[in-house]
Structure 1
Amino acid sequence: MAFQQNKLTSRKLVRFYLGEIHKLNPILRGVIEVNPDALLQADKADKEKKAKSLRSLEGLHGIPILLKDNIATKDKMNTTAGSFALLKSVVPRDAGVVRKLRKAGAIILGKASLSEWTGLRFVFPYGWCARTGQGRNPYVLSATPCGSSSGSAISVAANLAAVSLGTETMGSILCPSHFNSVVGIKPTVGLTSRAGVVPISPRQDTVGPICRTVSDAVEVLDVIVGFDKRDKATRTASKYIPRGGYKQFLNANGLKGKRLGIVRNPPYMFENVSVQPQVFEHHFHTLRQGGAVLVDHLKIANIDVFFGSTGVEALEAELKISLNAYLKELVASPVRTLADVIAFNNKFSHLEKVKEYGQDLFLQAQATKGINKKTLLKLARFSRNGFEKLMKKHKLDAMVAPTADIIHVLAIGGFPGIDVPAGYDGKGVPFGICFGGLKGSEPKLIEIAYSFEQATKIRKPPSFKP
């Protein structure tokens, strides 16, 4: 709106965000590097607006966006997954989603920090990578920012950027959104291209927006979805994209008539002294008031499998194969295989803090001897007979749960989910509510999430408590 009224230019917006990054990033460590060409891109966008070019009417035209540092850009910036091992490596081309962003006229502002190697080198701490150190939650600096898309969520929450992209394999968009009081959309696997993204699993990897509002996230989603010849999963998933895009589902009355499932077995993973149980009961009441039908006390069959080691074993085997293929395709790189990365970490252990954090998951992945097809079939069967069967049996539009309780279920089945701010605990640490559904159910999830957000308007700016 400010653009249309000539009150704001892309140059002014980029300068503002560069100033905020300069001021707050030394504390938050949410950004790894800024794009040296960001202001040039802003000037180009402003010229296009002045000339009233067709592209300048696009929703993301002239808007600065931060990308998680595992999303490749063929420009002056690095793509390193937060590791020194990939510093100065050269990618062959822009990632598929970056190509779509550039086509829409978005400005690539910089690269956001993350849990190094998207959390597959070690489990803890969330939000640490060698290139920036520990990312910090802007609400309570000593609280976890979660991961692996920590920097994307931190930066948007603290207004270092308007919008960002994250990636998810197992909770990496939904969990940081939950802990940083922002909106995260984890799309159906294949709805957005993974080409040019440092990979873990072709079954579970997905790219999605992290923003401050549902409407902003949907604006980004509309741009990044669609077919990409370099990612065959997009061919199948593109059938889910609705004619006219996703913005049409930003409906404040979107809860009306929706059937929402509540799973309470196993019990929610709340802390003993948490305010969350009462808050969630209040939210369930809000959903009912909005016209939703809540189907309570459901149980997902085989839920223990989703939290067990079977899924992790499969990811480790897929990581080795997928990462080796990605590294091999780089135009230039100090490392070409997972084994090379492990050796680099050992050689530069002081930089990569191997003594402190190790690289256990890498070592376990390197020890794998290919993908066990039986394990993958088993996971697919559990997903089909668990979440999918429950959704269909009760004719549910979505499952609603505290974010941490649904992450694994959505990840293993390649299902979509949207996290929306739900409240703050006694210390001021945010928490979210997650709406998850079957593949391609983004239109319904957007209606539900937007309607809930408009009815509650919970999000508030960060307080930077110690």
Structure 2
Amino acid sequence: MAQLRLLLAAAMVAVAAVCSASAGFEFEEATVDAIRHGFKSGRLTSKQLVLFYLDRIARLDPLLRAVLEVNPDALAQAARADAERAAGHRRSCGPLHGVPVLLKDNVATRDRLNTTAGSLALLGSVVRRDAGVAARLRAAGAVILGKANPSEWSHFRDTAVPSGWSARGGQTLNPYVLSADPCGSSSGSAVAAAANLAAVTLGTETDGSILCPASKNSVVGIKPTVGLTSRAGVIPISPRQDTVGPICRTVSDAVHVLDAIVGYDALDAEATGAASKYIPRGGYGQFLKMDGFRGKRIGILNGFFVKPYGKKQLDVYQKHIAEMRKHGATVIENIEIVENLNETTKIHLWSIDLVLMQAEFKLSLNAYLSDLLYSPVRSLADVIAFNNAHPVEERIKDFGQSLLIDSEKTNGIGPDEKSMLEIIDYVSTEGLEKLMRTHRLDAIVTPNNDASSFFAIGGMPAITVPAGYDDEGVPFGICFGGLKGYEPRLIEMAYAFEQGTKVRRTPSFKA
């Protein structure tokens, strides 16, 4: 505890020194809009902003372990952004120009940063190009600040691996209650956003990996419709479910990032081509509306706002639902999500999806590795062999690698897997999709990320927003999810909720 107090005290001194050099600009909790205003007024430069975050990472990250590495070129990128702004460069008008962003370490960057999914097996590998989303961030003028610590292999190594742990980065800690679960697999991204280690961050989700860490770290996470953001250059699990999205301190910030990263990518042509029709003309910022609940129909799934949550948390949720009604929403409670599905399908749905993901993981990871310009490993089998050859560094005895081994045993998408895909499609169509269309719902609202699997198998979007803190001070969130392309209405509700509740507070670093 004494060491923690000294660390925090040192951080405060360093932060104060940087702040004093920028004419009183409020760095901590600074939003993208505030940063833009600071740039415009001359009270702030991109270089000052990057220095602030680099200093904060240096002071706090030895405790939190949210950042794997910082970009040695970040200050040069910031200086270039400042020069472009001074010269009136056209792209300097964009909201992310000169703004530092941390990327989850499965998002490839063609620079001096590593891209490893937290594994030592990929340390030193060289990617052929930026990931599609990274290229879009660069085009918007964002500063790539570094890579955030993920759960290793996006939590697809072994179920015994803790959320937020990787061999490269160690264990990421929740900045509110250090002993609490930071949740995975975009743990480092969420913790970094919560602790003000970056202006904004990027995460990825296959099932819950944006929504859960955002909920547990009192930040906003947007899981976009699959294909709305490119997965090209992202170390994969399942092309059927993988998506890339923002994790930020506010809905507005997350929307700015979303606007920058959506769109067609020839290297992920099928998915991004199909999803392009959902992108609204004029972008997503137009849906940041204070009256976002007015006229909305919201569904509450049967059995979700119950135990294992404590009375305090359940009371908070019920108060929030009442406020939604007060602000114009029609709330339909006690809806059964799978009322038309037989019991066998209900019981085996998630095991079926796991078998499919294992087959998809082997195929897609091998394709990713084979495309690298250089890599110590070229296949999933090589990764398993590397771990076995480095058992201490990869903590094989403690955590194992059963998911990797089971994935290696698969043989592609054969007749059995195709039958499983039909079951998954049936569950999605006859479950959440039918429910939402039958009740004419704009959103399903759940605690934290409790329905993430239903959104995952359907490739559907969801947004989680801070909702409160339990008796120990651990954050919890509330999630708005809907059908493919429902991002506009979800943003309206998430923003209205955020602005009406103002729940978020800065981390307490409670031991």
Q: TM-score surpassing 0.5?
A: yes
Alignment of 1:267-346 (within 5 A): 267-268=304-305, 270-271=307-308, 273-301=310-338, 302=341, 304=346, 308-346=350-388
SS in 2 for 1:326: helix
User: What is the alpha-carbon distance in structure 2 between the residues aligned to residue 96 and residue 404 of structure 1?
Assistant: 26
Aligned counterpart for 1:143 among listed residues 180, 186, 200:
180
Displacement after TM superposition at 1:270 (Å): 3.5
Aligned counterpart for 2:493 among listed residues 429, 448, 454:
448
Alignment of 1:162-241 (within 5 A): 162-232=199-269, 233-241=271-279
**2:163 matched to which residue of 1?**
126
* Contact persistence 2:306–2:314 (CA under 8 A): no
* Contact persistence 1:260–1:397 (CA under 8 A): yes
User: What is the alpha-carbon distance in structure 2 between the residues aligned to residue 78 and residue 305 of structure 1?
Assistant: 40
SS in 1 for 2:477: strand
Q: Which runs of 5+ in 1 are unaligned?
A: none
User: What is the alpha-carbon distance in structure 2 between the residues aligned to residue 165 and residue 306 of structure 1?
Assistant: 32
CA distance 1:201–1:53, change in 2 (3 Å): same
Q: Quick check: 1:394 aligned with 2:394? A: no
CA-to-partner distance for each residue in 1:197-250, whole Å, 9 max, x for gaps?
Answer: 000111100000000000000000000000000002000100000000000000
Return the letter of the residue paired with 1:251.
K
Aligned counterpart for 2:471 among listed residues 426, 429, 432:
426
Aligned counterpart for 1:366 among listed residues 404, 408, 428:
408
User: What is the alpha-carbon distance in structure 1 between the residues aligned to residue 81 and residue 58 of structure 2?
Assistant: 23
Return the letter of the residue paired with 2:281.
R
* Contact persistence 1:268–1:405 (CA under 8 A): no
Aligned counterpart for 2:82 among listed residues 38, 41, 46:
46
* Contact persistence 1:269–1:404 (CA under 8 A): no
* Contact persistence 2:176–2:474 (CA under 8 A): yes
Aligned counterpart for 2:142 among listed residues 106, 111, 120:
106
CA-to-partner distance for each residue in 1:337-360, whole Å, 9 max, x for gaps?
Answer: 000000000000101000000001
**2:456 matched to which residue of 1?**
411
Return the letter of the residue paired with 1:373.
K
SS in 2 for 1:260: strand
Q: TM-score, normalised by structure 2?
A: 0.90
User: What is the alpha-carbon distance in structure 1 between the residues aligned to residue 494 and residue 310 of structure 2?
Assistant: 27
CA-to-partner distance for each residue in 1:298-339, whole Å, 9 max, x for gaps?
Answer: 011148358631111111110000000000100000000000
Q: Quick check: 1:89 aligned with 2:134? A: no
User: Over the residues paired in the alignment, what is the CA RMSD in angstroms?
Assistant: 1.1
Task: Give the ranges of 4+ consecutive aligned residues of structure 1 lying more than 4 Å apart after TM superposition.
Answer: none
CA distance 1:90–1:15, change in 2 (3 Å): same
CA distance 1:272–1:14, change in 2 (3 Å): closer
CA distance 1:329–1:368, change in 2 (3 Å): same
Q: Quick check: 1:19 aligned with 2:55? A: yes
Displacement after TM superposition at 1:52 (Å): 1.3
Displacement after TM superposition at 1:404 (Å): 3.0
SS in 1 for 2:38: coil
Displacement after TM superposition at 1:269 (Å): 6.0
Displacement after TM superposition at 1:120 (Å): 0.4
User: What is the alpha-carbon distance in structure 1 between the residues aligned to residue 195 and residue 309 of structure 2?
Assistant: 29
Aligned counterpart for 2:98 among listed residues 54, 59, 62:
62
* Contact persistence 2:302–2:337 (CA under 8 A): no
* Worse-matched range after superposition: 382-391 or 399-408: 399-408
Instruction: Give the share of equivalent positions with the same residue, in percent.
Output: 60
User: What is the alpha-carbon distance in structure 2 between the residues aligned to residue 227 and residue 3 of structure 1?
Assistant: 30
Return the letter of the residue paired with 2:321.
F
Q: Quick check: 1:252 aligned with 2:286? A: no
* Worse-matched range after superposition: 6-15 or 368-377: 368-377
* Pairs aligned (count): 465
**2:389 matched to which residue of 1?**
347
Displacement after TM superposition at 1:268 (Å): 3.9
* Contact persistence 1:263–1:297 (CA under 8 A): yes
